[in-house]
Amino acid sequence: MVTGPVAFAYNLKGVDNLVITPEVAAKIFNGAITKWNDPAIVAVNKDAQLPDMAVKVFFRSDDSGTTENFTKWLSAAAPSVWTAEAGKKWTGKGEGKPQNTGVATAVKSTEGGVTYTEWSFAKDNNLGIAKIDNGGGPVELTAESVGKSVATAKQVGEGNDLSLKLDYATKEAGAYPIVLVTYEIVCSKGTAADKLALVKGFLGYTASTEGQAVLDKLGYAPLPESVQTKVAASIKNLA
């Protein structure tokens, strides 16, 4: 129903165009890179004035779907560096803070800070958001680039079950790879008539062009048309 991009959010004065590869991200979050002017970061940011400053990592201390999807990206896109299992519980380095609010606020108040967080929290706290280069060139986090990533996903459910398998290692040009998607689970048949109209109305609006159009203002991204069409058809088939 909705795409939730995960931002690589940072706080570095004077660095407005940071590029991060999966390997560099993995080394930052597993503690192998500890300075912002580390040669590995400099190599992909030759025009940036990177300071000789400690990297201060913040992670979600609570079990989190954001953590799960971020570590799925690290595992898929940098498997030789990020060898830990992906999951909701953080297994890397850093200082834990509760929820998206906690990590975003911590980075905002800490020069040299970095975290992974939902797009909306990075924007609301005016944090830097890195471009991600999965191998197809640096990609800025935008509604369009997130949609391109979701469009590369494969449907693993059957019929009106639209479960997707996301390709976190995609090298599709212009596709932002660190994403999660939300699902709405409803009965396909047997819903009471008075409730069916409400369910269809709510889901139908959210999946509509009008409903999807407001998502980027809330820090989420609309579905690509190829997926949105399938969602609309599945809602229409509810009975």
- 3-state SS, 115-140, equals EEEEHHHHHHCCCEECEECCCCCCEC
Q: Which residues pair with 27 in a beta bridge?
A: none
pLDDT in tens, 136-187: 999 999 999 999 999 999 999 998 899 999 999 999 999 999 999 999 999 9
Q: How many angstroms separate the CA atoms of 178 and 166, rounded?
A: 10
Residue 169 lies in a domain: no
Q: What is the CATH number of the domain that holds 90?
A: 3.40.190.10
Q: Which of 224, 175, 202, 219 is nearest to 66 (CA)?
A: 219
At 237, list the tokens.
């088939």
Contacts of 205 (CB under 8 A, 6+ apart): 211
Residue 201 lies in a domain: no
Which runs of consecutive H residues, i.e. helices, occur in the chain? 22-29, 39-43, 65-77, 99-108, 119-124, 143-151, 193-207, 209-213, 225-236
Contacts of 225 (CB under 8 A, 6+ apart): none
Residue 113 lies in a domain: yes
Residue 181 lies in a domain: no
Residue 214 lies in a domain: no
Q: Which of 193, 196, 194, 149 is nearest to 173 (CA)?
A: 149
The per-residue pLDDT for 159 is 87
Count of domains for the chain? 1
Provide mean pLDDT across the span 50-61: 98
Q: Which amino acid is at 97?
A: K
The per-residue pLDDT for 54 is 98
Q: At what angle do helices 65-77 and 22-29 cross, to 10 degrees?
A: 120
Provide mean pLDDT across the span 96-112: 98
H or E element, residue 113: strand 113-118
Confidence of residue 219 (pLDDT cuts 50, 70, 90): confident
Q: Which domain holds residue 106?
A: 2-132
Q: How many angstroms separate the CA atoms of 169 and 124, rounded?
A: 28
Provide mean pLDDT across the span 52-72: 97
Tracing tokens 């971020």 back to the chain, one arrives at 70
Residue 65 lies in a domain: yes
Confidence of residue 216 (pLDDT cuts 50, 70, 90): confident
Angle at 115 between CA 122 and CA 110, to 5 degrees: 85
pLDDT at residue 208 above 90?
yes
Provide mean pLDDT across the span 70-94: 97
Tracing tokens 């970095």 back to the chain, one arrives at 114
Q: How many angstroms separate the CA atoms of 221 and 229, rounded?
A: 16
pLDDT at residue 218 above 90?
no
Residue 57 lies in a domain: yes
pLDDT in tens, 221-234: 999 999 999 999 99
Provide mean pLDDT across the span 66-88: 97
pTM value?
0.92
Residue 236 lies in a domain: no
